[in-house]
Copies of this chain bind each other. A is one copy, B any other.
Amino acid sequence: MSHEVVVIEGDGIGREVVPAAVEVLEALPVDFEFVEADAGDATKEATGEALPAETYDLAADADATLFGAAGETAADVILPLREAVDSFVNVRPARAYPGVDALRPETDVVFLRENTEGVYAGHEDRLSDDLSTLTRVVTSSASRELAEYACEFVADGRGPAGNPDEGFTVAHKANVMRETDGLFREEVLAVAEERGVDADEELMDAFATKLPLDPTQYGVIVCPNLAGDVLSDLAAGLVGGLGLLPSANVGHDNALFEPVHGTAPDIAGEGVANPTAAILSAAMLLEYLGHVEEGQRVRDAVEGVLSDGPRTGDLSGSATTDEVTAAIVDRL
């Protein structure tokens, strides 16, 4: 069976790292049909739309999508694409790798970020010259669905190695957002209890202090949308930046995979971008499509290259994107 995968390079280094990830996928004994589609700043310039309806529809109908990055139009591209694949959870692992400079090399966490609501579902109004409002939305159903996913995730052992108690931590701000985050917190903890999964909780501000002080306290962290955005980016700062971080937007029978980094305009076009985050996103895509062993082969190859292979400039090396990709393909 061949998997139809939509490939959206986007802008900047997306055009370099996505082809690298496709090269890795093509080197494996898995049947893919890749369909290229456009989105991003350049697409907007050319067509007037950052995310053409055709791209949206292709992503919606595919088995999975691999996305690179978009520039100024990032929100106009990625938010509708997450909707196109019907994604309810954004899976964001953040770990340091041996030999890679990191502020907290012992960091090994996975964020499970709610991917449909919070301020992102926000209806906004400019009510007067002075006053603007945003309606933040939290539903019991989305909170429970995320929690069910989190329970399966930890039960399947997909949390980081040594995940404390095989459980998870809910991070929220229910002491201020009593109804909305209160509902989120209550439902997530209730599902954990029903499923017999250990869950503890942390206020998101306290979490932001404690994660840098000692990341080993945490394993899997379940958060509302914006909290997951900010706290997972904080974790990126502890493992040495965004260059190594993949992510998955998982839906009911579709998913989209993307490196957490952006378009890196300072180095775009030079062929020196680090393809690791895109390649690790491809590993998540493989696992999502049931090719768990192949996903692991990709991870192992990436780790091998990170520990003693060529490196790009962000990791103090001088290799090109192609050299790093070739080294990873060599080790598969």
Contact = CB atoms under 8 A, between A and B. Distances in A.
B213 A132 contact: no
Given A177-B119, A226-B173, A209 B242 contact: yes
A308 to B, nearest CB: 25
A205 B182 CA distance: 23
Contacts of A211: 237
8 contacts: A120-B176, A122-B176, A122-B180, A130-B140, A131-B140, A133-B135, A211-B237, A213-B241
Interface string A173-213: 10111111011000000000000000000001110111111
A111 to B, nearest CB: 12
A104 B212 CA distance: 10
Counting every copy of the chain, the complex holds 2
B213 A234 contact: no
A135 to B, nearest CB: 5
Interface residues of A, number: 54
Given A137-B131, A139-B132, A140-B129, A205 B229 contact: yes
A4 interface: no
Given A130-B139, A141-B130, A209 B236 contact: yes
A234 B233 contact: no
A201 to B, nearest CB: 14
A233 B233 CA distance: 15
Nearest to A104: B103
Interface string A137-151: 111110000000000
A326 interface: no
| Top 4 A-B pairs, shortest CB-CB distance | A212-B237, A124-B179, A208-B234, A205-B233
Contacts of A66: none
B209 A175 contact: no
A125 interface: yes
A100 interface: no
Contacts of A180: 122, 124, 132-134
A230 B208 contact: yes
A132 to B, nearest CB: 5
A177 to B, nearest CB: 6
Interface string A81-102: 0000000000000000000000
A135 B226 CA distance: 15
A268 interface: no
A3 interface: no
A327 interface: no
A221 interface: no
B134 A177 contact: yes
A74 interface: yes
A8 B234 CA distance: 34
A226 B181 CA distance: 13
